[in-house]
Amino acid sequence: MSRSQGSSSSLKRKRPGLSSPSQSLTDHERKLYDVIRSRKDMGIWTRDMKKETNLPDNVVNKSLKALHAKNLIKEVVNIQNKGRKHYMAAEFQPSKELTGGSWYVAGSLDTDFIRSLRMFCVKYIAEEKVATVEKVTELIRGNGAFAVEVTKQQVEEIVRALVLDDEVMEVKSNGMGEFGSVPVGNVCYKCVGKGRGGGVKAIIGAMASIPCGVCPRISLCTPDGVISPRTCVYYTKWLDF
């Protein structure tokens, strides 16, 4: 109840803050403000403002200072062009295209956060033997190592990077053995191990979970025999992935 009340009062306080100062805007300030506000969470570069408003540089600069002083606009960092002055209406939050999303803080890549998250992803995948993104996210949230809540999307992006770096491999569960806790067909991840052939990395992808590799009757399996790929329930399930 208190949360919804807080939201309502927040909106009531915000409206006068936006409308009252704007009533006293000059024609130039109004024109510039309307252009900036129309760009919503993407904001606009000062050079583009000048093109759209056809206002002289000195008028634009003076108007920007006035709008900023009235808390109607704010300057934001655009990670694609950090040297450019970018503005948006104060009521909007910068889009991910501008800020770089959760991996950036104040326009700079948060390398410490990324490094720590990679470390924990590898740690928990190794401990679990086989783990889904959801499981890794749950374990990371539970350890209290981060001041902010780690999202599933963040973990998924890190795990994808680990796959590309050959630190973990993506597999599909066959529901047997170490995959017992993961439903059949669900994507999960394993740490890359060493093969018998002198450091050859494990097979990556769905082939890593083929049931034939762990079948105790593989020596008796023939195309037309009693035990065959045609009659094998596990093999059929694997083909349906």
**Which CATH number does the domain housing residue 182 bear?**
1.10.10.10
**pLDDT per residue over 130-146, tens digit each?**
999 999 999 998 888 88
Give the closest residue to 121 by CA, choosing from 206, 190, 200: 190
For residue 208, what are the domain limits? 203-240
Among 101, 134, 160, which residue terminates a domain? Answer: 101
Regarding predicted confidence, which is higher, 2 or 90?
A: 90
The whole-number pLDDT of residue 210 equals: 54
User: Could you tell me what percentage of the chain is helix, strand and coil, using 3-state DSSP and rounding each to the nearest 5?
Assistant: 55, 10, 35
Are residues 182 and 116 located together in one domain of the fold? yes
Are residues 94 and 41 located together in one domain of the fold? yes
Are residues 120 and 75 located together in one domain of the fold? no
Question: Which residues, at least 6 apart from 89, have a Cβ–Cβ distance to it below 8 Å?
Answer: 33, 36, 37, 40, 72, 73, 74
Asked if pLDDT for residue 180 goes beyond 90, the answer is: no
Asked if pLDDT for residue 189 goes beyond 90, the answer is: yes
CA trace torsion 27, 29, 34, 35 (10° rounding): 110
Q: Is residue 198 part of a domain?
A: no
**Contact yes or no for 149/163 (Cβ under 8 A):** no
Q: Is residue 21 part of a domain?
A: no
Question: Which residues, at least 6 apart from 202, have a Cβ–Cβ distance to it below 8 Å?
Answer: 169, 190, 192, 193, 194, 195, 208
**Contact yes or no for 46/35 (Cβ under 8 A):** no
> Picking from 145-159, 176-190, 197-211, which range would have the lowest pLDDT averaged per residue?
197-211
Instruction: Report how far residue 174's alpha carbon sits from residue 234's, in angstroms, rounded to the nearest whole number.
Output: 7
Are residues 184 and 234 located together in one domain of the fold? no
Are residues 220 and 176 located together in one domain of the fold? no
Q: Is residue 116 part of a domain?
A: yes
CA distances from 65 to 75, 87, 118 (A): 11, 11, 43
Asked if pLDDT for residue 88 goes beyond 50, the answer is: yes
Q: What is the mean pLDDT of residues 234-239?
A: 62
> Picking from 35-49, 110-124, 140-154, 192-206, which range would have the lowest pLDDT averaged per residue?
192-206
Are residues 183 and 227 located together in one domain of the fold? no
Q: Is residue 217 part of a domain?
A: yes
Are residues 60 and 96 located together in one domain of the fold? yes
Q: Is residue 168 part of a domain?
A: yes
Q: Is residue 1 part of a domain?
A: no
Regarding predicted confidence, which is higher, 52 or 14?
A: 52
> Picking from 28-37, 72-81, 202-211, which range would have the lowest pLDDT averaged per residue?
202-211
**Contact yes or no for 234/227 (Cβ under 8 A):** no
Q: Is residue 169 part of a domain?
A: yes
The whole-number pLDDT of residue 131 equals: 92
Total of domains in the chain:
3
Q: Is residue 22 part of a domain?
A: no
